[in-house]
């Protein structure tokens, strides 16, 4: 029989390779998957970071350590974690956007509730659409140089909102002073709340210098800016107990104002327009009432006028928000 060589002395046969566990890689993939699901949900996305981080770390460990198996699971866990982080960042911005939208809607609801005495505004009406409002009209205007300041001129504008069911909420009214050549020499912009009926503006041009005003030009908001506010739901401001007093230099108009808006109002404007015996506008003034109670009770006001009222002169009081 043929002879076979014996194995070298002292060399033992190699043991079989131990099976590598894939548990860590599987746990990593599960954690990353849960994080990815959380990352895709607004607001919940903020809690996805822990799961994504755990999946990423365990996946890396499973890849690096030689005694760990499940290489495919590990690679998948790392990839899913990275995708989850990107998705979480995107959804975080979406979440903040939703919060901003909700806050804006709440502000609009509160604002409309103030205008309509607490009634929430809805824009699903089919019978009141943009374009139904009529344009605001200029009833009267006047201007003159202030007696005690040659470079300051006052202006007065009376407007009429002919719409019972539309208001113009803080839309710009631009008043421009023109010289004899038609060139603009100063401009004032006001943002009044024009409720239904007559409204008044009284202000001053302070950049005239040595120029003289020949006329004023008034630019009003477009009719499309009207906001639907039913007359039976919109509050009103009412003036009472009006009197006038004077000292050596100026006059004061005083009285009370009350509201039917159903909630406390702050910073209510009181504009006074003064007229001479012939009915021409000769000056005016304005001030604010700090608080008008919600219960309908009256709040006092006093407005200093830009002139001294004389016999035969009169004045009108216009409240606004």
* Domain's final residue, options 232, 260, 280: 232
* Domain's final residue, options 232, 262, 284: 232
CB–CB of 270/237 below 8 Å? no
Q: In terms of Cα–Cα distance, which of 101, 124, 108 is closest to 169?
A: 108
Residue 30 is predicted with a pLDDT of 87
Please give the tally of structural domains in the chain: 3
Residue 131 is predicted with a pLDDT of 59
The predicted-structure confidence for 251-261, as pLDDT tens digits, reads as follows 999 999 999 99
The predicted-structure confidence for 225-280, as pLDDT tens digits, reads as follows 999 999 888 989 999 999 999 988 889 999 999 999 989 999 999 999 999 999 99
Residue 161 is predicted with a pLDDT of 97
Q: Which residues contact 40 (CB under 8 A, 6 or more apart)?
A: 87, 91
pTM flag (> 0.85): no
Q: In terms of Cα–Cα distance, which of 70, 72, 20, 77 is closest to 54?
A: 77
* Domain's final residue, options 197, 215, 232: 232
Asked if residue 3 is part of any domain, the answer here is no
CB–CB of 69/20 below 8 Å? yes
Residue segments in the chain with a per-residue pLDDT below the cut of 50: 1, 4, 6, 9-12, 14, 17, 116, 118-128, 130
Report the CATH number that the domain containing residue 180 is assigned in CATH.
Answer: 2.60.40.10
């Amino acid at each position: 029989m043929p002879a076979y060589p014996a194995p070298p002395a002292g060399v033992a046969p190699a043991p079989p390779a131990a099976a590598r566990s894939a548990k860590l890689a599987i746990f990593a993939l599960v954690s990353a998957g849960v994080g990815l699901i959380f990352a895709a949900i607004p607001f919940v996305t903020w809690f996805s970071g822990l799961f994504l981080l755990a999946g990423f770390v365990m996946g890396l460990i499973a890849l690096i350590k030689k005694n760990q198996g499940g290489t495919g699971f590990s690679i998948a866990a790392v990839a899913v974690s990275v995708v989850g982080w990107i998705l979480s960042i995107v959804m975080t911005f979406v979440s903040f956007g939703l919060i901003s939208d909700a806050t804006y809607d709440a502000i609009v609801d509160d604002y409309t509730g103030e205008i309509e005495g607490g009634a929430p505004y809805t824009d699903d009406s089919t019978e009141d659409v943009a374009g139904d409002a009529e344009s605001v009209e200029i009833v009267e205007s006047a201007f003159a140089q202030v007696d005690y300041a040659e470079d300051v001129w006052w202006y007065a504008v009376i407007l009429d909102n002919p719409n019972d069911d539309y208001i113009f909420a803080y839309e710009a009214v631009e008043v421009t002073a023109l010289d004899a050549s038609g060139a603009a020499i100063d401009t004032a912009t006001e943002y009044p709340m024009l409720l239904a009926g007559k409204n008044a503006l009284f202000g001053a041009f302070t950049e005239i210098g040595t120029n003289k005003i020949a006329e004023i030009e008034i630019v009003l908001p477009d009719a499309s800016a009207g906001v639907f506010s039913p007359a039976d739901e919109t509050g009103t401001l009412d003036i009472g107990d009006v009197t006038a007093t004077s000292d050596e230099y100026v006059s004061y108009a005083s009285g009370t104002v009350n509201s039917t808006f159903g909630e406390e109002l702050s910073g209510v404007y009181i504009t006074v327009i003064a007229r001479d015996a012939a009915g021409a506008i000769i000056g005016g003034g304005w001030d604010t009432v700090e608080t008008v109670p919600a219960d309908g009770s009256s709040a006092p006001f006093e407005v200093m006028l830009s002139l001294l009222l004389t016999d035969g002169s009169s004045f009108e009081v216009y409240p606004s928000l």
